[in-house]
Amino acid sequence: MYKIVFMRHGESTWNLENRFTGWTDVDLTEKGIAEARSAGKVLKDNGFSFDLAYTSVLKRAVRTLWLTLDEMDLMWLPIKNDWRLNERHYGALQGLDKGETAAKYGDQQVLVWRRSYDVPPPPLAADDERASFNDPRYAGLAREQIPLTECLKDTVARVLPAWNEELAPAIKAGRQILVSAHGNSLRALIKMLDGISDEDIVGLNIPNGQPLVYELDADLKPIRHYYLGDQEAIAAAMAAVANQGKAKAA
Protein backbone atom coordinates (compact mmCIF):
# COMPACT_ATOMS: atom_id res chain seq x y z
CA MET A 1 0.00 0.00 0.00
CA TYR A 2 1.19 3.50 -0.88
CA LYS A 3 0.23 6.80 0.73
CA ILE A 4 0.30 10.38 -0.50
CA VAL A 5 -0.83 13.47 1.44
CA PHE A 6 -2.45 16.41 -0.32
CA MET A 7 -3.03 19.77 1.31
CA ARG A 8 -4.63 22.97 0.11
CA HIS A 9 -2.68 26.04 1.22
CA GLY A 10 -3.70 27.88 4.38
CA GLU A 11 -6.01 30.87 4.23
CA SER A 12 -4.65 33.55 1.90
CA THR A 13 -5.24 37.28 2.04
CA TRP A 14 -7.65 37.02 -0.89
CA ASN A 15 -9.43 34.04 0.67
CA LEU A 16 -10.05 36.36 3.61
CA GLU A 17 -11.26 39.13 1.30
CA ASN A 18 -13.37 36.60 -0.69
CA ARG A 19 -11.65 37.48 -3.96
CA PHE A 20 -11.00 35.33 -7.02
CA THR A 21 -7.28 34.63 -6.82
CA GLY A 22 -6.14 32.21 -9.53
CA TRP A 23 -2.55 32.89 -10.54
CA THR A 24 -2.32 36.13 -8.54
CA ASP A 25 0.53 35.62 -6.07
CA VAL A 26 -0.96 36.59 -2.72
CA ASP A 27 0.42 35.50 0.65
CA LEU A 28 -1.04 33.80 3.73
CA THR A 29 -2.96 35.54 6.50
CA GLU A 30 -2.06 35.01 10.15
CA LYS A 31 -4.83 32.40 10.22
CA GLY A 32 -3.31 30.73 7.16
CA ILE A 33 0.09 30.61 8.86
CA ALA A 34 -1.51 29.02 11.93
CA GLU A 35 -3.36 26.49 9.72
CA ALA A 36 -0.11 25.46 8.05
CA ARG A 37 1.66 25.00 11.38
CA SER A 38 -1.33 23.10 12.76
CA ALA A 39 -1.23 20.79 9.74
CA GLY A 40 2.42 20.04 10.44
CA LYS A 41 1.63 19.25 14.05
CA VAL A 42 -1.29 16.97 13.10
CA LEU A 43 0.85 15.12 10.57
CA LYS A 44 3.70 14.68 13.06
CA ASP A 45 1.34 13.59 15.85
CA ASN A 46 -0.16 10.96 13.54
CA GLY A 47 3.23 9.49 12.73
CA PHE A 48 3.64 10.85 9.21
CA SER A 49 7.02 11.64 7.76
CA PHE A 50 8.12 12.53 4.22
CA ASP A 51 11.20 12.46 2.04
CA LEU A 52 9.96 14.54 -0.91
CA ALA A 53 7.53 17.44 -1.32
CA TYR A 54 5.81 19.09 -4.26
CA THR A 55 4.19 22.48 -4.52
CA SER A 56 3.23 25.12 -7.08
CA VAL A 57 5.15 28.33 -7.84
CA LEU A 58 2.65 30.49 -5.93
CA LYS A 59 3.77 31.70 -2.50
CA ARG A 60 0.59 30.79 -0.60
CA ALA A 61 1.20 27.11 -1.37
CA VAL A 62 4.98 27.36 -1.04
CA ARG A 63 4.82 29.08 2.34
CA THR A 64 2.22 26.59 3.57
CA LEU A 65 4.63 23.81 2.71
CA TRP A 66 7.57 25.55 4.40
CA LEU A 67 5.62 26.11 7.61
CA THR A 68 4.26 22.56 7.64
CA LEU A 69 7.72 21.08 7.14
CA ASP A 70 9.17 23.45 9.74
CA GLU A 71 6.64 22.18 12.28
CA MET A 72 7.68 18.60 11.42
CA ASP A 73 11.44 19.45 11.56
CA LEU A 74 11.67 18.43 7.89
CA MET A 75 12.79 21.69 6.27
CA TRP A 76 15.76 19.86 4.76
CA LEU A 77 13.52 17.89 2.39
CA PRO A 78 13.91 18.31 -1.36
CA ILE A 79 11.03 20.42 -2.72
CA LYS A 80 9.95 20.40 -6.34
CA ASN A 81 8.08 23.50 -7.53
CA ASP A 82 5.88 22.74 -10.52
CA TRP A 83 3.81 25.44 -12.22
CA ARG A 84 1.39 22.72 -13.33
CA LEU A 85 0.21 22.50 -9.69
CA ASN A 86 -0.86 26.18 -9.76
CA GLU A 87 -4.43 27.16 -8.99
CA ARG A 88 -6.87 27.39 -11.89
CA HIS A 89 -6.51 30.68 -13.75
CA TYR A 90 -9.65 32.75 -13.15
CA GLY A 91 -9.15 35.08 -16.09
CA ALA A 92 -10.77 38.50 -15.87
CA LEU A 93 -12.37 37.55 -12.52
CA GLN A 94 -8.99 37.62 -10.75
CA GLY A 95 -9.08 40.23 -8.00
CA LEU A 96 -12.88 40.62 -8.01
CA ASP A 97 -14.95 40.11 -4.85
CA LYS A 98 -16.89 36.85 -5.18
CA GLY A 99 -19.97 38.10 -3.34
CA GLU A 100 -20.12 41.34 -5.31
CA THR A 101 -19.65 39.41 -8.55
CA ALA A 102 -22.51 37.09 -7.55
CA ALA A 103 -24.73 40.08 -6.74
CA LYS A 104 -23.99 41.50 -10.20
CA TYR A 105 -24.22 38.35 -12.32
CA GLY A 106 -26.23 36.00 -10.07
CA ASP A 107 -25.21 33.09 -7.83
CA GLN A 108 -25.77 30.58 -10.62
CA GLN A 109 -23.47 32.33 -13.10
CA VAL A 110 -20.73 32.62 -10.50
CA LEU A 111 -21.17 28.95 -9.60
CA VAL A 112 -20.72 28.11 -13.29
CA TRP A 113 -17.54 30.22 -13.47
CA ARG A 114 -16.20 28.78 -10.21
CA ARG A 115 -17.06 25.15 -10.63
CA SER A 116 -18.31 24.29 -14.13
CA TYR A 117 -16.08 21.63 -15.62
CA ASP A 118 -15.81 23.12 -19.09
CA VAL A 119 -17.01 26.76 -18.98
CA PRO A 120 -14.13 29.19 -18.31
CA PRO A 121 -14.55 32.71 -16.90
CA PRO A 122 -14.05 35.64 -19.29
CA PRO A 123 -10.35 35.75 -20.32
CA LEU A 124 -7.84 38.45 -19.54
CA ALA A 125 -6.79 40.60 -22.46
CA ALA A 126 -3.28 39.64 -23.60
CA ASP A 127 -2.01 43.10 -22.63
CA ASP A 128 -3.68 43.09 -19.21
CA GLU A 129 -1.19 43.81 -16.41
CA ARG A 130 -2.54 40.71 -14.64
CA ALA A 131 -1.32 38.42 -17.45
CA SER A 132 1.70 36.24 -16.57
CA PHE A 133 3.64 36.40 -19.85
CA ASN A 134 6.50 38.44 -18.33
CA ASP A 135 6.58 36.67 -14.96
CA PRO A 136 10.03 35.04 -14.50
CA ARG A 137 8.38 31.97 -12.96
CA TYR A 138 7.07 31.06 -16.41
CA ALA A 139 10.06 32.16 -18.49
CA GLY A 140 10.69 28.61 -19.68
CA LEU A 141 7.17 28.13 -21.04
CA ALA A 142 5.88 28.73 -24.52
CA ARG A 143 3.47 31.67 -24.67
CA GLU A 144 0.55 29.36 -25.49
CA GLN A 145 1.17 27.39 -22.28
CA ILE A 146 0.44 30.48 -20.15
CA PRO A 147 -3.34 30.82 -19.77
CA LEU A 148 -5.51 33.92 -19.89
CA THR A 149 -8.37 31.94 -18.32
CA GLU A 150 -9.09 28.30 -17.47
CA CYS A 151 -11.99 26.02 -16.69
CA LEU A 152 -11.45 22.94 -14.54
CA LYS A 153 -11.11 20.82 -17.70
CA ASP A 154 -8.11 22.96 -18.67
CA THR A 155 -6.65 22.60 -15.18
CA VAL A 156 -7.02 18.82 -15.34
CA ALA A 157 -5.21 18.83 -18.70
CA ARG A 158 -2.12 20.52 -17.20
CA VAL A 159 -2.18 18.78 -13.78
CA LEU A 160 -2.42 15.17 -14.99
CA PRO A 161 0.95 15.23 -16.79
CA ALA A 162 2.49 16.33 -13.48
CA TRP A 163 0.92 13.25 -11.86
CA ASN A 164 1.99 10.90 -14.64
CA GLU A 165 5.52 12.28 -15.08
CA GLU A 166 6.43 13.24 -11.50
CA LEU A 167 4.14 12.16 -8.69
CA ALA A 168 3.14 8.63 -9.74
CA PRO A 169 6.71 7.45 -10.53
CA ALA A 170 7.96 8.91 -7.24
CA ILE A 171 5.20 7.12 -5.29
CA LYS A 172 5.98 3.82 -7.00
CA ALA A 173 9.65 4.34 -6.19
CA GLY A 174 8.67 4.34 -2.51
CA ARG A 175 8.95 8.06 -1.84
CA GLN A 176 6.81 9.48 0.97
CA ILE A 177 5.26 12.56 -0.62
CA LEU A 178 3.50 15.68 0.64
CA VAL A 179 1.80 17.93 -1.94
CA SER A 180 0.92 21.52 -1.01
CA ALA A 181 -1.23 22.99 -3.75
CA HIS A 182 -4.57 24.69 -4.45
CA GLY A 183 -8.28 24.00 -4.43
CA ASN A 184 -8.61 23.35 -8.15
CA SER A 185 -5.29 21.66 -8.85
CA LEU A 186 -6.10 19.26 -6.00
CA ARG A 187 -9.65 18.91 -7.33
CA ALA A 188 -8.12 17.82 -10.65
CA LEU A 189 -5.99 15.15 -8.95
CA ILE A 190 -8.86 13.89 -6.81
CA LYS A 191 -11.16 13.75 -9.86
CA MET A 192 -8.63 11.52 -11.58
CA LEU A 193 -7.93 9.29 -8.58
CA ASP A 194 -11.56 8.77 -7.55
CA GLY A 195 -13.04 8.76 -11.05
CA ILE A 196 -15.44 11.59 -10.16
CA SER A 197 -17.71 12.63 -13.02
CA ASP A 198 -17.55 16.02 -14.70
CA GLU A 199 -20.95 16.81 -13.18
CA ASP A 200 -20.16 15.73 -9.61
CA ILE A 201 -16.77 17.40 -9.29
CA VAL A 202 -18.61 20.74 -8.93
CA GLY A 203 -19.72 19.66 -5.44
CA LEU A 204 -16.26 18.82 -4.08
CA ASN A 205 -15.09 21.38 -1.52
CA ILE A 206 -11.51 21.28 -0.25
CA PRO A 207 -10.81 23.18 3.00
CA ASN A 208 -7.69 25.24 3.59
CA GLY A 209 -4.79 23.78 5.51
CA GLN A 210 -6.21 20.31 6.20
CA PRO A 211 -4.05 17.25 5.36
CA LEU A 212 -5.90 14.80 3.08
CA VAL A 213 -4.44 11.29 3.09
CA TYR A 214 -4.89 8.92 0.15
CA GLU A 215 -4.03 5.26 0.59
CA LEU A 216 -3.36 3.65 -2.79
CA ASP A 217 -3.02 0.06 -4.01
CA ALA A 218 -0.21 -1.32 -6.20
CA ASP A 219 -1.80 0.26 -9.28
CA LEU A 220 -2.18 3.61 -7.47
CA LYS A 221 -5.94 3.18 -7.24
CA PRO A 222 -7.47 4.60 -4.05
CA ILE A 223 -8.22 2.20 -1.19
CA ARG A 224 -9.53 4.98 1.04
CA HIS A 225 -8.96 8.63 1.83
CA TYR A 226 -9.50 10.76 4.91
CA TYR A 227 -8.72 14.13 6.43
CA LEU A 228 -6.57 14.27 9.53
CA GLY A 229 -7.68 16.47 12.39
CA ASP A 230 -10.91 17.72 13.97
CA GLN A 231 -13.66 16.38 11.72
CA GLU A 232 -16.28 18.93 12.83
CA ALA A 233 -13.91 21.81 12.11
CA ILE A 234 -13.07 20.28 8.72
CA ALA A 235 -16.78 19.97 7.85
CA ALA A 236 -17.34 23.61 8.81
CA ALA A 237 -14.37 24.69 6.68
CA MET A 238 -15.72 22.75 3.69
CA ALA A 239 -19.12 24.44 4.08
CA ALA A 240 -17.42 27.85 4.18
CA VAL A 241 -15.65 27.09 0.89
CA ALA A 242 -18.99 26.12 -0.69
CA ASN A 243 -20.56 29.45 0.33
CA GLN A 244 -17.77 31.74 -0.91
CA GLY A 245 -19.34 32.47 -4.29
CA LYS A 246 -22.79 33.48 -3.09
CA ALA A 247 -24.18 36.98 -2.95
CA LYS A 248 -24.42 38.37 0.56
CA ALA A 249 -27.90 38.92 1.94
CA ALA A 250 -28.91 42.56 2.19
Enumerate the active-site residues: 9, 87
Question: At residue 50, what are phi and psi to the nearest 5 degrees?
Answer: -140, 160
Q: With beta carbons less than 8 A apart as the criterion, state whether 97 and 123 touch.
A: no
Kindly report the backbone phi and psi dihedral angles of residue 12, in degrees, each rounded to the nearest multiple of 5, phi listed first. Answer: -100, 170
Confirm if 248 and 99 have CB atoms less than 8 A apart.
yes
In degrees rounded to 5, what are phi and psi of residue 7? -150, 130
Residue 76 and residue 108: Cα distance in Å, rounded?
46
The radius of gyration of the chain's CA atoms, rounded to the nearest angstrom, is: 17
Count Cβ neighbours within 10 Å for each residue of 206-223 and write b for 16 or more, e otherwise: bbbbbbbbbebeeeeeee
Question: Do 88 and 23 meet the contact criterion of CB atoms below 8 Å apart?
Answer: no
- Tell how many helices (H) and how many strands (E) occur in the chain: 9, 6
How far apart (Å, rounded) are the C-alpha atoms in residues 134 and 156? 24
